[in-house]
Amino acid sequence: MNKDSFPCLLLTEIFLPTSGGTAVLFDSDFRELGGKEVHIVTAAVPGAKEFDQSHPNTIHRLGLKRHAWLKPESALMYMKLFFRSLGIALTRPIKAVFAGRALPEGITAWAVARLTRRPVIIYAHGEELTGWGRGKKFKAMCFALRHADWVIANSDFTHDTLVELIKVNPKKIVTLYPIADEVRFRPDLPCEDLRENIGLTQEQKLILSVGRLQRRKGFDNVIRSLPALIEQGLDVHYALIGIGEDHDYLTNLAAELGVTDRVHFLGHVSYEDLPRWYNACDVFAMPNREIDGDTEGFGLVYLEAAATCKPSITGNSGGTGSAVSHEETGLRVNGENVGEIAAALSRYLTNPELCEATGRRGRERVLAEFTQNRRVEKLESLILQK
């Protein structure tokens, strides 16, 4: 199919250069669906101007801030999204309206789509489905998802939650796994300079995590596992890529455990350096856990690690079982159990042959099941099926 024949509109609060797997996913999908005839309405963030200049899509940036003096706090954000998106849909040959999530984008996209007689397609990621309680926001989310023409579930866990908790018609749900760019994320990229920049020798081991610094990701329990690994005689370091509300908490935790010199907070890294950091590590770890209904819906970072031939340690909650095949491309453990996390890390860090074999199977699985061409073909078919 000719992707130029698929002009569409995406409403999303989260888009590159904001870091995170969801932002990467949207960028990848809509680059492939078309060029400047694809319109993305999203938040104005630092670095956006430079990023947008070379982007193939048409990106519309808005100030999407919540205001405590408003009731609801997001009222102004909804209005900005609605009027800008409606203007685009009325003046461009848009074939479909996509929403990055049910709230706030899904409700707005539904209104725009119905007023302009276009199909509305909403992404569901998993963690947002279980974190709203059962109040007004939950009911609004349910309305958006139940009234969408299609809902894209990112994992089997998300599909089941949509059916069982949200009561979405299963016939309207399409399970579409995220993908990793197998060309960008590949093994054998040069990375020694990155290791040298944080003071690592070739012999020292490196654990890597990538993601927003928040409690459910399990980065704190990776830090807690370091003393046990060191007691085993492993000269191990830990690098974290990402920003978030837990930065100070994690910094203080590393100090309390006496491993400050072994924990490296890298913040944002460049687009070019991210795949090199995966190459620089020995094992990838994000032993997620569920906290007050907040869980990991899939975990694109596990696929990025697999594409670079690195095994992953993941928690056994949420939808991570769709991203990591236990005992084949990594290990799923109890994200609450530091002992299990330490044992899983030790298993790979002390066995280079197992590490290599697991990583090789991970890349083979990415190439077989998680490619961009197959994903975009399904997205195009959704646009045509209204």
CA distance 220 to 94: 45
CATH superfamily of 192-369: Glycogen Phosphorylase B; (3.40.50.2000)
Domain ranges of the chain: 3-179+371-384, 192-369
What fold does the segment set 3-179+371-384 form as a domain? Answer: Rossmann fold (3.40.50)
CA distance 386 to 373: 21
Nearest to 310 by CA among 371, 367, 369, 355: 355
Q: What is the pLDDT of residues 64-79, one digit of tens each?
A: 987 777 677 788 888 9
Q: What is the pLDDT of residues 71-126, one digit of tens each?
A: 777 888 889 999 999 999 999 999 999 999 999 899 999 999 999 999 999 999 98
pLDDT score at 24: 85
CA distance 296 to 125: 8
CA–CA–CA angle 110, 111, 116 (5° rounding): 100
pLDDT score at 3: 45
pLDDT (mean) for 348-365: 97
CB 306 within 8 A of CB 180: yes
For 238-254, the DSSP string reads EEEEB--TTHHHHHHHH
pLDDT confidence bin for 178, thresholds 50/70/90 = confident
Q: How many helices (H) does the chain have, and how many strands (E)?
A: 14, 13
Same CATH fold, 192-369 and 3-179+371-384?
yes
Nearest to 311 by CA among 325, 328, 329: 329
pLDDT at 186 over 60: yes
Q: What is the mean pLDDT of the chain?
A: 93
- Taking the CA atoms of residue 122, residue 124, residue 125 and residue 128 in that order, the dihedral angle to the nearest 10 degrees is 110
Whole-structure pTM value? 0.75
